[in-house]
Amino acid sequence: MILKYIFRHTNPDFLNRDFEKLTPKDIMFRKAIYHSGFKFGLLLLSTITFIGVFVPFFVDMSPYDQDISKRLLPPVWSEGGSWQYIFGTDGNGRDYLARIIYGTRVSLTIGIGAATVGMLIGVTLGVIAGYFGGIVDQVVSYILTCQLALPGILFLLTIISIVGSSLTVVILVIGVLHWTLFLVVTRAATQRIRNLDYITAANAIGARKTNIIFTDILPNVLNQIIVIFTLEVGVAILAEATISFLGLGIQPPTPSWGVLIAEGKEAIFFQPWLIILPGIALFLLVISINMLGDGLRDITDPNTNIE
């Protein structure tokens, strides 16, 4: 709706059904406007991001202030809840809503950061292996096999116990553990594209290998990369939650959703909201990212229908 409104005022012709006059940008906007999954994902993700990034600036709340007299207060909708603590309080008497909102920042940073690290490693290796083939491909495949054989959690434990835990370390370690999917997908796509006529044509007009990789191959694997990226953002957020749950990730009192769930596990039978609320937040964030990714793939793929 909003998109449609904005676009109608910048370019009144876009709703014309005369597709031939549309520029590539118009077509992309048109697809975006008619893609309900994309719109839903975008809306949800921007809402979550907005709440996580900006709300703490305007609302006076603290995820760290403890009030032992107000331990384990239930949320506002259950019996005994109050509007002062909408999501109740945790075992140390901290405002649970504030902790979840601050946790959004950690989860988003780790999700996007780790997926970017994974993407850089995986796509680089995948394109190189797929395009050059032969011995290069064999070496990369060997690295892949080693990575797949590596016990992830054990690797993680080792690194964190050596380097110590911090946000950067967690991002890097999760990223380094999650590039295999990028590699497999880009490698297969590149191998397929490499043999197509337009690559031969690019060779024939004298294009260099880097030029071919950046203008011909990468744009064509982009759709798959976007989908994998959003998938991996979700996986990375969940991975952070897992390792924080194990006590290896983000260290308390910094609120991350994984830490919250880990802290709430002792009270699972009597104060279930301590686990359910961050769980719902996690679910919403991951699903919004996945829907956005599916939408982006459809929109950026020039072969999908304009409608």
Partner 1 sequence: METTLLEIKNLNISFNVSKNIVNTVDNFSLTLKEKETIGIVGESGSGKTISMLGLTRLLPKQAFVDKGSILFKGRDISNISNKEFYQKISGKKISMIFQEPMTALNPVYTIGRQLISTYLFHNDVSRNSAYNRAIEFLDKVQLTNVKERMAQYPHQLSGGQRQRVMIAMALINSPELLIADEPTTALDVTVQKEIVGLIQKLIENLGMAMIFISHDLGLVSKTCEDIIVMEKGLILESGKAKDVLTRPKENYTKNLLKCLWSLDVDHKKINEYRTLLLDVKDISKSYQLPGSILKPKKVINAVRNVSFEIFKGETLAIVGESGSGKSTVAKIINGLTKMDSGDVLLEGKKIDSYSPLERALRIQPVFQDPYSTLNPNHTIGFIVRRPLLLNTSLSYDEIETKVAKTLDLVGLSKNFINRFPSQLSGGQRQRVAIARAIILEPKILICDEPTSSLDVTIQSQILDLLNELKARLKITIVLISHNISVVKFLSDRVLVMNNGEILESGNTLNIINKPKNNYTKKLMSAIFTVKKKV
The stretch near partner 1 (CB under 8 A) out of 148-156, 172-180, 219-227, 255-263 is 219-227
Contact call for residues 48 and 93 (beta carbons, < 8 A): no
Binding status of residue 232 toward partner 1 by CB under 8 A: no
Contact call for residues 299 and 28 (beta carbons, < 8 A): yes
Binding status of residue 15 toward partner 1 by CB under 8 A: no
Which residues have a Cβ under 8 Å from the Cβ of 77 and sit 6 or more positions away?
A: none
- The interaxial angle of helices 273-300 and 24-34, nearest 10 deg, is 140
The stretch near partner 1 (CB under 8 A) out of 85-93, 95-103, 198-206, 252-260 is 198-206
Binding status of residue 196 toward partner 1 by CB under 8 A: yes
What residues form DSSP beta bridges with 82? 85
- The interaxial angle of helices 96-132 and 257-264, nearest 10 deg, is 120
Candidates 135, 162, 206, 269: give the one binding partner 1 (CB under 8 A). 206
| Ramachandran angles phi, psi of 82, nearest 5° | -140, 160
| Minimum distance, C-beta of residue 306 to partner 1, in the bound complex (Å) | 9
Binding status of residue 200 toward partner 1 by CB under 8 A: yes
| Minimum distance, C-beta of residue 302 to partner 1, in the bound complex (Å) | 4
Candidates 2, 68, 162, 204: give the one binding partner 1 (CB under 8 A). 204
Residue 90's SS3 state is coil
- Name the residue among 210, 171, 198, 190 with its Cα closest to residue 123: 190
What residues form DSSP beta bridges with 164? none
Binding status of residue 205 toward partner 1 by CB under 8 A: yes
Residues 82-121, interacting with partner 1 (CB under 8 A): none
Candidates 6, 13, 19, 272: give the one binding partner 1 (CB under 8 A). 19
Query: Which residues contribute to the site for partner 1 (CB under 8 A)?
Result: 19-20, 22-24, 27, 196-198, 200-208, 211, 215-216, 219-220, 222, 302-303, 305, 307
